Chains A and B, each alone.
Chain A
Amino acid sequence: MNRPTLDRQSSADESEPLDLASWRQHAHDFEREIAKAVVGQERAIRLLTIAVFARGHVLLEGDVGVGKTTLLRAVARALGGSYERIEGTIDLMPSDMIYHTFLNEEGKPRVEPGPVLRHGSDLSVFFFNEINRARPQVHSLLLRLMAERSITAFNKEYVFPNLLVFADRNRIEREETFELPAAARDRFLMEVGISTPTDDTARRDLLFDTKFHDVDSLIGSLTDSVIDYRRLNALAKVIQSTIIVSPALEKYVLDLWTAIREPAKAEIPVPNVDVTRLIAGGASPRGMSYLIRAARVRAWLSGREMVVPEDIREIFNECMAHRIFLAPVYELRREEIVRSLISGVFAKVPAP
């Protein structure tokens, strides 16, 4: 599904100073717009908004049919800019993302840019559906795209300054899937779990309100480009340089980091687990710096000028859980163990 690039007068916009208060208002409008299409997922919407303003890539995970794709399409719609979507399949090769070859009407061979290159630097959202069905070769191309926001093709470097990668995967099937390499997972700012809404009104609406039955018209009904995606990079810089992280909070985050990496030393109890052998690695410095990035955005969205421990606590699971690597023996119970480890760490580390 491709949409033409929006014709904006970008030069005029970009010269305007960035007012954080009015942008906060825009951000809340952005959230409200998405909430029209996706009900009962307020937390996921807030997390995606944080990711958008922190310029981080997001991996959505959840059951089949809980609205992962709808949520991402709604975000792409409200964000504006060019949008590309690709389905992960076992026979997808990296070249399929860059170009495709065909015979034209005159019978001559043609090479056309593929989904990644088609919109040039205007690409704002690249949506990779069912990412775990694609091969590791594709994952490595994606790694470069996410890390550097650029790829090399046709002897030329293509740069996508406004690009955000959204990916999703379902947790039901394991056959014919390839687990994402740790390096690729570490590139995602957040891994957000999407579950079926528990709120009764939301459930009733989803089932009986006819507007939720046709996803295309539902997405089409949303206001296009609630925020100007081309100014987000600059805005993110301003947010990161404006919101205060105090020495007390720095110490708090460092303590959290130590406790996560060495739960035995911090005496974190995890039921039925030998914590001395639990952690195999992870909780990378990059991950922790992403966490602070996201925490600053959350503080800004909450109308604060300082990051407080609650900001860290609220996003810690989504930002850090996928970066913690457990000993193989505990890997099958990963979700439960990591959740209790994280809540144990927050119950133990003093703040301030």
Chain B
Amino acid sequence: MRIWAFLAFVIFSVHPAAAAIDAVNVYEPRTFGYFIGDTLERDVEVVTSGSTELFTEALPRPGALTYWLDLVSIEQKTHENNGRRIYDIKLKYQIFYSAIEATDVEIPAFPLKFKNPSSVAPDGTAPSDLTEASKYSASVPALRLTIAPLRNLVLVDLMPDKTKELSDVLRPDIAAHEIATAQKEKTLALSGLSLLACGLLLLWHYAIWPFQTRAGRPFTQADRQIRDLFSYGTGDPSYREALLILHRAFDEAAGHRLLAEDASAFTAERPRFSGLTPRLQAFFESSRLYFFSDDRRTAEERFPFENIKKLAGDLAREERAAA
């Protein structure tokens, strides 16, 4: 329980004063039973009236006050009540006095400073004596405290004959509780799986191994088909079929429909086929004759089936060599 002391400098004016320090109330904590490191709080209430104001800037600042005492914080609030101004000041101290035995120490007093403290008495005369003068000034008084030393308890003192183990005397340690990891393990497994799936999707998207498809080999396939065709015979339908097979192979290799006029651009883009350019042109020329004029015989004479077969074989060989 907090002891509160009433230390008053109550000024009862003879005449109602225009301005005055009406009261300084200090609410003190207990004055005994302190150890090193303890904190204590003092509440100071200052009541003024009229034009008198507490000069709050002059209150002590937090910090070391003496070698054994720190002012930890100081809070100050102001409110008005019935024309009086009330200042609530909360001082928080911490003690660092390392007492060897119980001893008294004193928190020093400090003065309060006021604006317009009406240092002149209401009747216009100067204060005649010290008591009278105190009506026009105030301070927070010193506080005496009793500080106790910390006691050192040694197991030997409690149990000089060592009949028990230390563990029997002390409470057992609190058993560490097991952290449930099943849920986390499940989440980890799920995350791992989704990461793997994402990785596979990405590989598929960029067509990287194992999703990398081997580049098509249209000429190799065409070569095989034409050789099959050749075994059936070299008549007109076979010849036509062979031309078409090779045309489709060119289309697939070029990525678009390749017409006779594009043949030179095709070989320019693929230098490996450039050795075959004259034969390619001959092929396209006779294909034109075959399909777009009514002169099929000339076409077959200029570029017979054997030539188609040979050209397809050479194209396939170059294609495989390029891969």
- Please give the residue numbers on chain A whose beta carbons come within 8 Å of chain B beta carbons, in ascending order: 244, 246, 248-249, 305-310, 313, 346-352
Contact = CB atoms under 8 A, between A and B. Distances in A.
**Among B248, B251, B256, B259, which residue has the most Cβ atoms of chain A within 10 A?**
B259
Majority SS at the chain B contact face? helix
B257 to A, nearest CB: 6
B257 A305 contact: no
A350 B251 contact: yes
A350 B292 contact: no
19 contacts: A244-B292, A244-B294, A246-B291, A246-B293, A246-B294, A249-B291, A306-B292, A306-B293, A308-B292, A309-B292, A310-B261, A313-B259, A347-B256, A347-B257, A350-B248, A351-B257, A352-B243, A352-B244, A352-B287
B259 A249 contact: no
Interface residues of B, number: 17
B257 A352 contact: no
A248 B292 contact: yes
Contacts of A347: 255-257
A300 to B, nearest CB: 14
Contacts of A248: 291-292
Contact of A352 (B256, B261, B291, B294): B291
Given A350-B251, A352-B244, A246 B257 contact: no
B257 A306 contact: no
Interface in B243-268: 243-244, 247-248, 251, 255-257, 259-261
Contacts of A313: 259
Top-6 shortest CB links A-B: A352-B291, A347-B256, A248-B291, A306-B293, A306-B292, A246-B292
B288 interface: yes
Contact of B288 (A308, A346, A349): A308
Contacts of A346: 256-257
A305 B293 contact: yes
Contacts of B261: 310
Contact of B292 (A249, A348, A349): A249
A351 B288 CA distance: 10
B257 A349 contact: yes
A322 to B, nearest CB: 24
Contacts of A307: 292
Contacts of B244: 352
A348 B294 contact: no
**Among A244, A305, A310, A351, which residue has the most Cβ atoms of chain B within 10 A?**
A351
Nearest to B289: A306
Interface in B264-317: 287-288, 291-294
Nearest to A299: B292
A309 B259 contact: yes
Contacts of A349: 257
Given A309-B259, A310-B259, A310-B260, A350 B247 contact: yes
Contacts of A249: 291-292
A346 B293 CA distance: 21
A348 B288 CA distance: 19
Contacts of A308: 259-260, 288, 292
Nearest to B293: A306
A244 B251 contact: no
Contacts of B294: 244, 246
A248 B251 CA distance: 17
Given A246-B293, A307-B292, A308-B292, 14 more contacts: A244-B292, A246-B294, A248-B291, A305-B293, A308-B288, A309-B259, A310-B259, A346-B256, A347-B255, A347-B257, A350-B247, A350-B251, A351-B247, A352-B243
A351 B259 contact: yes
